[in-house]
Structure 1
Amino acid sequence: MDKYRVPNRANLLRAREYGLETSFIHIEQTRRLADFTLCKYRNLTSYHHSSISTMNLDQSESRYLLSGGSNGHICCHDMLPSSLVTTHPIVFQIDRNSNRDHHTHNICSLLWYPNDNGLFVTLGLDKKLKIWDTNQVKMVDEYEFSNFAYSAHMPSTANASVIAVAHENGDLRLIDIRSGSDSHVIHSHTKKGICLVKWFNNNPNLLASGGVDGRVLFTDVRSSRAHYMSLDRDNILTNNEQIKSRQTTVSSVAHHRGVKSLEFLPDNTHLLTVGADDLMYLWNVNNGQRLLVNYGPITTNNVRILTIACAQMKHDRTKSVVYVPCGKYVRVYDILTGQRLTTLSGHLMPVSTCIYNRLSVELYSCSDDILVWGAVKKQQEDYEISMKNPERRNEATKTLAQILNRDQWSDDEDED
């Protein structure tokens, strides 16, 4: 935790006064990453009456949060403003009462179109993938499969139009939503099935897929080969001469049981995987070697797919954390050392998804409800005290952005 502590604040404020505001914000945001607490006075307008299976936050504004339930219902909440005390309203909802094109089974994946929240994609266990117009909340296209599909993902790059869908029979199907083509099928995994699929952050032609058999494969969609790399848990990157790295083989597995999570780090050179063997591994994407980092056991329960959230500081890559659902809790780890920084407690049911909002530096997690986490412990304590003093209520309910960016010196000097 030492490297996440803030240096002398007087020096930081003095640097900001001389125009070095960026440094102040970077250091303050780094501190907040490992100092999250439950935002007790921020609620989402109630909607889901069943467990929430997945969520997704739009990339263009980091504002609209989609959530899908086990009964097929979908809801969108507006997460702004990020005030200390607020109730986030529902923007729209899709269910049997509001839309005849609703899903009838559990929602597996929710995807916002990259860089444009005018379109989003939903995938359900009713074997249907639907494309929606956000403004009209109207389905504009639909794809139906013969096999169950458990995961879908789109590249985060601009002008992306291809959706990768993972099927239970071991096939990866590529759907081009611009042309409507869904004929490109990659037979990469065994017939045991694919758990999930994820595109690389910086390359719209490369994707990673995790199978029920524990294999993690890297595929280049431009190539005729089913995959160009297979991750092997015994292929370890270390300076220890007694532990030698080895070449991957057909029988290479990343986990001894099914893969439950794939998440690329913002630096685009590392990948985190979580398996049903209750282990989390860190991999070098370029050479496929596993870094010798011990995170300890990760309880995955009966959750089919876990969505973990990574946060990495642009000014210092060594300061990176991951938020991992672990039973009813969310554990926060230092990615490069494996140190557990803290554990977030607040849910009553197992957590399935964590979403990090880089714009407001806060975290969203879901189980049977959705909770908001942020570095607001001191502000909440001040608010509770201010409730006894009405004259201080306006100051206590300022937005988090105002608290972070407000000036700490008087403007009287500028008038002289």
Structure 2
Amino acid sequence: MNKYRVPSSVNLLRAREYGLENSFIHIEQTRRLANFTLCKYRNLTSYHHSSISTMSLEQSEYRYLLSGGANGHICCHDMFPSNLVVKHPIIFQIDRNSNREHHTNNICSLLWYPNDNGLFITLGLDKKLKIWDTNRVKTADEYEFNNFAYSAHMSSTTNTSIIAIGHENGDLRLIDIRTGSNSHIIHAHNKKGICLVKWFNNNPNLLASAGADGQVLFTDIRSSRKYYMALDRDNILTDNQQVNSRTTTSTSSIAHHRGVKSLEFLPDNSHLLTLGGDNHMYLWNVNNGQRLLVNYGPILTDNIRIITLACAQMKHDRTKSLVYVPFGKSIRIYDILSGERLTTLNGHLLPVSTCIYNRLSIELYTCSDDILVWAAIKKQQEDYELSMKTQERRYETTRSLGQILNRDQWSDDEDEV
């Protein structure tokens, strides 16, 4: 935790004198990341009447937050401004009462179109993938499948139009929304099914897929092979050459002993975090597929099918990387490279399923049956609460004086006799 402490003011002034104009910004970002607290006075207009299964924050303005419920309802909140006291309004909602094109079952995935909030994509357990026009809140296109699909993802790179979808029968389907083609199917996993799919951050042709059997496969969609690498939990990064001798392309290679529940690439795309139903979280080298010896301890995943982690990485210092992990009703913050647990955030009443990091305003959004906002505003909240108590005391004092001054001074004539 020491490396996340803020340097003294003298050191900050000295850094500015030496021409390090960005040091203030970097240090402030580092301080905020490790000191999140619950924003008690920032609320979202209530909408969902069931558990919230997933969320998505658009990456063009970092302002509009989509949330999908277990009943198929979808809602969009405006998270601007990020004031100390604010109630975020609903921009639009999609449900059986407001939209005929709504989903009829649990929402599995929500995706904003990369770098453009004019489109967003939804995937539900009603076996339908819908592409929505945000301005009109109407479907622009729709795809229906024969099998259940649990995960969909779109590359964050520019000029992309391909959506990857993982099905319960082990098929990896690619849909090109520009041409409407959905015939490209990769039979990568076995019939236990695919739990998650995730594109690489820096390459629109490479994607990772995770199965219910614990396998994690890397696929190049330009190649005829099903996959070019399979992560193996026994392929550990160490000085012992005998340990490194295992191949990473074997069909028996597994990353977890149970189904994989989370895939999350670090922002610089050098490492991958996986979380499995075996209650283990592993850190992998993306280039060679080796597992790093980082011990995060057991992480309980409860009965949640898909868990979304949030990663934050400092641009000025890659060693300062944090991950926010849902752990039952709380959120744990870990240092990614050391495995040290820095702190735990408590505030939800039900198990948390999704964490979303807003790197523009340096905030964290989490959901269970409700959506909570976290930020480094502990001191501001304490000052606000103190000012409110002071105002209440002044009001009570003024009211008491007013009661004394306005008290009746008359007496009954019979008492005077």
What is the TM-score of this pair, normalised by structure 2?
A: 0.92
Aligned residues of 1:195 and 1:211 also touching (Cα < 8 A):
yes
How far apart are 1:18 and its partner, in Å?
Answer: 7.7
| 1:65-214 pair list within 5 angstroms | 65-214=65-214
How far apart are 1:11 and its partner, in Å?
Answer: 3.0
Return the letter of the residue paired with 1:259: V
Instruction: Tell me the distance in 1 between the aligned counterparts of 2:66 and 2:342.
Output: 28
Instruction: Tell me the distance in 2 between the aligned counterparts of 1:23 and 1:135.
Output: 40
Instruction: Tell me the distance in 2 between the aligned counterparts of 1:150 and 1:94.
Output: 20
Residue number in structure 2 paired with 1:252: 253
Residue number in structure 2 paired with 1:34: 34
Return the letter of the residue paired with 1:251: S
Deviates more, 1:188-197 or 1:247-256: 247-256
Instruction: Tell me the distance in 2 between the aligned counterparts of 1:238 and 1:377.
Output: 41
Return the letter of the residue paired with 2:344: T
Deviates more, 1:317-326 or 1:14-23: 14-23
| 1:6-405 pair list within 5 angstroms | 6-13=6-13, 15-16=15-16, 20-240=20-240, 243-248=243-248, 249-389=250-390
Identity %: 81
Return the letter of the residue paired with 2:98: S
How far apart are 1:240 and its partner, in Å?
Answer: 4.7
Task: Report the 3-state secondary structure (helix = DSSP H, G, I; strand = E; otherwise coil) of the residue aligned with 2:381.
Answer: helix
How far apart are 1:22 and its partner, in Å?
Answer: 1.5
Task: Report the 3-state secondary structure (helix = DSSP H, G, I; strand = E; otherwise coil) of the residue aligned with 2:319.
Answer: strand
What is the TM-score of this pair, normalised by structure 1?
A: 0.92
Instruction: Tell me the distance in 2 between the aligned counterparts of 1:200 and 1:138.
Output: 30
Instruction: Tell me the distance in 1 between the aligned counterparts of 2:163 and 2:261.
Output: 19
Task: Name the CA shift for 1:14/1:85 in 2 (closer, same or farther; >3 Å).
Answer: farther
Instruction: Tell me the distance in 1 between the aligned counterparts of 2:17 and 2:84.
Output: 26
Aligned residues of 2:234 and 2:243 also touching (Cα < 8 A):
no
Return the letter of the residue paired with 2:131: I
Instruction: Tell me the distance in 1 between the aligned counterparts of 2:253 and 2:328.
Output: 29
Instruction: Tell me the distance in 2 between the aligned counterparts of 1:15 and 1:244.
Output: 44
How far apart are 1:388 and its partner, in Å?
Answer: 3.6
Instruction: Tell me the distance in 2 between the aligned counterparts of 1:161 and 1:114.
Output: 9
Instruction: Tell me the distance in 2 between the aligned counterparts of 1:15 and 1:303.
Output: 46
Aligned residues of 1:234 and 1:245 also touching (Cα < 8 A):
no
Residue number in structure 1 paired with 2:407: none
Q: Deviations over 1:170-223 (max 9, x none)?
A: 000000000000000000000110001000000000000000000000000001
How far apart are 1:247 and its partner, in Å?
Answer: 1.4
Instruction: Tell me the distance in 1 between the aligned counterparts of 2:15 and 2:252.
Output: 56
Instruction: Tell me the distance in 2 between the aligned counterparts of 1:31 and 1:138.
Output: 42
How many matched pairs? 391
How far apart are 1:24 and its partner, in Å?
Answer: 0.3
Aligned residues of 1:58 and 1:65 also touching (Cα < 8 A):
yes
Instruction: Tell me the distance in 2 between the aligned counterparts of 1:292 and 1:19.
Output: 38
Aligned residues of 2:235 and 2:243 also touching (Cα < 8 A):
no
Task: Report the 3-state secondary structure (helix = DSSP H, G, I; strand = E; otherwise coil) of the residue aligned with 1:202.
Answer: coil
> Highest CA radius of gyration, 1 or 2?
2
Return the letter of the residue paired with 2:274: T
Instruction: Tell me the distance in 2 between the aligned counterparts of 1:177 and 1:244.
Output: 41
Task: Name the CA shift for 1:356/1:245 in 2 (closer, same or farther; >3 Å).
Answer: farther
Aligned residues of 1:236 and 1:245 also touching (Cα < 8 A):
no
How far apart are 1:12 and its partner, in Å?
Answer: 1.7
RMSD: 1.4
Task: Report the 3-state secondary structure (helix = DSSP H, G, I; strand = E; otherwise coil) of the residue aligned with 1:318.
Answer: coil
Instruction: Tell me the distance in 1 between the aligned counterparts of 2:127 and 2:13.
Output: 55
Residue number in structure 2 paired with 1:408: none
Instruction: Tell me the distance in 2 between the aligned counterparts of 1:113 and 1:245.
Output: 41
How far apart are 1:243 and its partner, in Å?
Answer: 4.4
Q: Deviations over 1:212-270 (max 9, x none)?
A: 00000000000110000000000000235674452132101000000000000011110
Q: Which runs of 5+ in 2 are unaligned?
A: 392-417
Instruction: Tell me the distance in 2 between the aligned counterparts of 1:190 and 1:158.
Output: 32
Instruction: Tell me the distance in 1 between the aligned counterparts of 2:185 and 2:153.
Output: 15
Q: Which runs of 5+ in 1 are unaligned?
A: 391-416
Return the letter of the residue paired with 2:366: S
Task: Name the CA shift for 1:243/1:173 in 2 (closer, same or farther; >3 Å).
Answer: closer
Task: Name the CA shift for 1:182/1:241 in 2 (closer, same or farther; >3 Å).
Answer: closer
